Amino acid sequence: ATVVQPPTQEIGTGHASNEYFRYRAYAFIEGRWRYADRTRTAQFEGPYLEVDATIDNKVTDTFKVFFDGMANYSQYSNSGLFSLNQFGLRFHSGDWVFAMGRERNRRSPGLFVSPSDPLHTNPTFAGPREIRTGEWIARLSHQAATHSTDVMYVPFRTLTKEGFPDETPRAEVWLRHFHKIGPIDLDISGGRLDGKWRGGLSALGFVASIWKVYGEFGYREDSVWSTLLGTAFEGSDDFSVRTEFLYSSAASLSPVPLPKGWLWILNVGFPEVADRFNFFLTGIQSLESAITVGLLRAEWLVTGHNTFGTSFLLAPTRDLIWSADWRYSF
């Protein structure tokens, strides 16, 4: 069944491909109007411009070069930035893969936060951006039909704003093993990151072929732990519903800056209504404080290359942000 993707969903992304070369790219312009709850004032923030490109070049049958980069400019802050999201090399030989560079290799099921995976996350809501930020690693993997094992050396965790290493290499390693047991996908991982020992476990399965049910657990030394339970309805082409409950004994173990305690996460989507419109509703509510985040977004799929969108966002600071954007895929 067709389902609404996580916030990094690729709507209308242009692409071209053949056996050895693939790319996808987009550009968009956005304007934002922010109402500040603390000062009771409103201001226009924009325009904001962004270009993103992803390239996969299969040099030979066993060797591939990959790249993802983003450039943006904000007239509001009068600043621009180029960011290297991914770049590196992959070598394949039978069931073995060796990769090095800045690579994204996320497999955990959590929508925004993944307690079992402190390396990767989905940091944005639904919208025109496609965030595919990777980590600087050297990875050796053995991949089979029902199981895989990854050994990752993680030398750099402190980066410049452009995404390049900004520290001397660390001696840290992350291990991950995936195993499919009947209808259940199990993933166990562990290692040393950011100077601390960590471990994670996730499981995913289906109920009646239409409900996806999953759970995650993450632990960090000093008795810091986090757990997540989630379910998603995948029995309709017209809508999808996904909800999660997250508990963290301290600040979130993943790169997403969420508070400790219980959180409720809800994501509802109506894709391709009348073949022209997408609608999304996303909410994050703390069950132990007044922290609330909410997003309502609508998109008009004008053509295969042009998409107009608008969003209303309630930020954790209680600010209200309305944005309008136009995206062109090529």
| pLDDT the model gives residue 123 | 62
Cα separation, 212 vs 231, in Å, equals 5
User: Locate tokens 């969420």: which residue?
Assistant: 258
DSSP 168: P
Nearest to 8 by CA among 88, 86, 89, 62: 86
Q: Give the pLDDT score at 10.
A: 39
CATH for the stretch 14-18+93-100+107-329:
2.40.160
Phi, psi (rounded to 5 degrees) for 123: -90, 0
| pLDDT in the model for residue 12 | 42
Q: Report yes or no: 297 and 307 within 8 Å, Cβ to Cβ.
A: no
Closest CA to 175 of 155, 201, 198, 150: 150
Cα dihedral across residues 278, 52, 265, 315: positive or negative: negative
Sequential pLDDT tens for the chain (330 residues): 333 333 333 334 555 667 789 999 999 999 999 999 888 999 998 899 999 999 999 999 999 999 999 999 998 888 999 999 999 999 999 999 999 999 998 889 998 888 999 888 666 666 777 778 899 999 999 999 999 999 999 999 999 999 999 999 999 999 999 999 999 999 999 999 999 999 999 999 999 989 999 999 999 998 889 999 999 999 999 999 999 999 998 865 555 567 789 999 999 999 999 999 999 999 999 998 888 889 999 999 999 899 999 999 998 888 899 999 999 998
pLDDT of residue 329: 93
Residue 5 has what pLDDT? 36
pLDDT recorded at residue 144: 94
Nearest Cα residue to 73 out of 125, 28, 118, 120: 28
> What is d(CA 111, CA 282) in angstroms, rounded to the nearest whole number?
11
* Spatial CA neighbour of 131 closest among 96, 160, 104, 155: 104
Q: Where are the domains of the chain?
A: 14-18+93-100+107-329
Please give the pLDDT value at position 259.
76
